[in-house]
């Protein structure tokens, strides 16, 4: 079983309201033995996390290269990469795998809201989820023009359905045309899980220049690990369907924030949805405003505000 430990990672001095929602909803539903918050400034962040700072199960840890000591295949590589001018997202990609391998638990991105009992997930030895993608990682290694044309059509359809009211319902009809690809926003594993060693091995095999490119150490790496490992060779590491963590996929997730969607929340969620990854990239669609406590209070008719009311 996966230990009931939650792992969050954050770089930066600010601590957005959405982060607090992720912490509070996860604590409510997981009832974890430990919440490990890995940050670049543990001392400075404590005053930013409001009442969460007083939780007895909360532990703050520093985000540094010490996490990579003794990792199979990539101990030296990860340490060297961490010293590079990597983006915070790339550093978080490295640390999440290292922390899961060392300690075991469930890693969550901060743009998540837990909405149901996660006990069935913790009963596994490892898991990640899939999202419906227009441009999966393996597409970029393909020279087949038909694949690229199909991807362009999927991309155009997704963009067109991200804006009109009810567009998410239409997308549900065609969602099966989109490859279901692994995403690392929600990932859990027992300590020392062999599938994570597969991820480390693939990371070590990347050419040095590739390791510095966007997504290479994150979603692309996980997608490669899933695609190159047969299900019966993953040592019980399950790849969950889209509905478990990504009931509204990339771009379509803008519908969480549209007026009048609160009454449709039950339909927007799926019966087996446990955690909603709401994609903080869609914050730019909030009328030029960041997601704040005030924004949620001022937009109670949105599905997102209804999720906050019910689950956070």
What would the pLDDT profile of 186-234 be if each residue is shown by its tens digit? 999 999 999 999 999 999 999 999 998 888 999 999 999 999 999 999 9
Kindly state the tokens that stand for 273: 């949805």
156 in any annotated domain: no
DSSP the chain: ---SEEEEEE-SS---HHHHHHHHHHHHHH--SEEEEEES-HHHHGGGSGGGGG-TTEEEEE-SGGGGTT-TTTHHHHHHHHHS---HHHHHHHHHHHHHHHH-EEEE-SSEEE-S--HHHHTSSEEEEEEE-SS-GGGGG---HHHHHHHHHHHHHHHHHTSSTTHHHHHHHHGGGS-EEEEEEEEEE-TT-HHHHHHHHHHHHS-HHHHTSTTTTTHHHHHHHHHTS-GGGSTTEEEE-HHHH-SS-TTGGGGGGSTT-GGGHHHHS-TT--EEE--GGGGGGSTT----HHHHHH-TTSHHHHHHHHH-
Kindly state the tokens that stand for 227: 């695609």
Can you give the pLDDT at residue 277?
98
CA angle 160, 260, 168 (to 5 degrees): 30
CATH label of the domain that carries residue 100? 3.90.550.10
Q: Give the rounded distance of the alpha carbon of 67 from its chain centre.
A: 20
Can you give the pLDDT at residue 141?
86
**Lookup result for tokens 């992720």:** 22
Instruction: Tell me how far apart the alpha carbons of residues 215 and 180 are, in angstroms, rounded to a whole number.
Output: 17
110 in any annotated domain: yes
Domain total in the chain: 1
Kindly state the tokens that stand for 195: 């599938």
Can you give the pLDDT at residue 288?
65
Instruction: Tell me how far apart the alpha carbons of residues 183 and 55 are, in angstroms, rounded to a whole number.
Output: 29
Instruction: Tell me how far apart the alpha carbons of residues 54 and 64 are, in angstroms, rounded to a whole number.
Output: 24
162 in any annotated domain: no
Can you give the pLDDT at residue 283?
80
Kindly state the tokens that stand for 210: 């590739």
25 in any annotated domain: yes
172 in any annotated domain: no
Instruction: Tell me how far apart the alpha carbons of residues 198 and 127 are, in angstroms, rounded to a whole number.
Output: 14
Can you give the pLDDT at residue 287?
66
29 in any annotated domain: yes
Identify any residues that bridge with 31 across adjacent strands, giving them in sequence order. Answer: none
Residues of the chain scoring pLDDT < 50: none
39 contacts 7 by C-beta, under 8 angstroms: no
Structural domain range at position 12: 5-134+180-311
128 in any annotated domain: yes
Instruction: Tell me how far apart the alpha carbons of residues 184 and 52 are, in angstroms, rounded to a whole number.
Output: 24
111 in any annotated domain: yes
Identify any residues that bridge with 126 across adjacent strands, giving them in sequence order. Answer: 189, 237
């Amino acid at each position: 079983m996966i230990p009931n430990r939650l792992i969050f990672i954050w770089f930066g001095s600010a601590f957005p309201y959405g982060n607090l929602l992720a912490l509070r909803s996860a604590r409510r539903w997981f009832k974890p033995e430990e919440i490990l918050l890995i940050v670049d400034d543990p001392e400075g962040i404590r005053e930013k996390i409001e009442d969460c700072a007083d939780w007895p199960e909360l532990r703050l840890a520093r985000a540094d290269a010490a996490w990579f000591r003794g990792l199979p295949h990539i101990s030296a590589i990860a340490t060297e990469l961490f010293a590079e001018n990597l983006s915070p997202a790339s550093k978080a990609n490295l640390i999440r795998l290292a922390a899961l391998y060392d300690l075991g638990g469930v890693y969550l991105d901060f743009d998540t809201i837990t909405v149901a009992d996660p006990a069935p997930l913790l009963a596994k030895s490892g898991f990640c989820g899939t999202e419906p993608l227009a441009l999966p990682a393996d597409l970029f290694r393909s020279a087949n023009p038909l694949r690229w044309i199909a991807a362009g059509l999927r991309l155009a359809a997704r963009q067109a359905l991200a804006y009109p009211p009810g567009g998410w319902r239409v997308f549900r009809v065609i969602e099966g045309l989109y490859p279901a690809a692994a995403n690392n926003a929600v990932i859990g594993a027992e300590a020392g899980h062999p599938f994570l060693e597969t991820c480390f091995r693939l990371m070590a095999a990347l050419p040095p220049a590739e390791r510095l490119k966007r997504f290479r150490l994150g979603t692309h790496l996980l997608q490669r690990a899933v695609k190159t490992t047969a299900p019966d060779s993953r040592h019980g590491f399950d790849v969950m369907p889209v509905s478990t963590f990504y009931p509204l996929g990339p771009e379509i997730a803008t519908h969480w924030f549209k007026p009048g969607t609160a009454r449709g929340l039950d339909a927007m969620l799926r019966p087996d949805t446990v955690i909603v990854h709401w994609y903080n990239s869609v914050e730019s669609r909030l009328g030029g405003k960041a997601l704040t406590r005030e924004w949620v209070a001022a937009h109670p008719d949105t599905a997102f505000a209804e999720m906050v009311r019910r689950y956070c």
